[in-house]
Amino acid sequence: MNKGVKIGIVAVLAVAVGIVVYVRTMHHAPVEPAPTDAGRTADQRLPRLLDLGSKTCIPCKLMAPILDDLRKEYAGRMEVGFIDVAERPEAVKTYRIEGIPTQIFYDASGKERHRHWGFMSKEDILATWQELGVTFGPPASVE
């Protein structure tokens, strides 16, 4: 690799690091969840996990079956949402996304309680809910 290419790579990396540092130092107000609670009473609201990613990103693709699993297993006890930021680029600003995938944990009142950037296993997601003091109880019986 010639010297010019190496200098170019270092310059690109320096700019990328500068952007990340700038974004991380900006003041961020809490972000409210998407308005899916419209028309619901307080006792009808559920804790919500919102995953923001892309259908083309490898870690995001790995998250998809986990989100589907959680959606099915915790139906009626937790809402699980996904926003593809490639299809909805305004979500990057709305939810202050610094990288994908990003998981945002909201309590039943809609308050953001935790945020994670990167792949997250099902076990880690459930452990995070537990650390936040959110319990889901047994699934509703199907009869």
Q: Say which amino acid occupies 2.
A: N
The two tokens of residue 29 are 């107000």
The two tokens of residue 24 are 């991380």
User: Of 46, 49, 52, 60, which is the active-site residue?
Assistant: 60
H runs (alpha helix) in the chain: 3-25, 58-73, 90-94, 122-131
Residue pair 115/109 in contact (Cβ under 8 Å)? The answer is no
- CA 57: distance to chain centroid? 14
User: Of 31, 33, 36, 57, which is the active-site residue?
Assistant: 57
Active site residue 90: no
Contacting residues for 55 by C-beta, under 8 A, at least 6 apart? 61, 84, 86
Active site residue 60: yes
Active site members: 57, 60
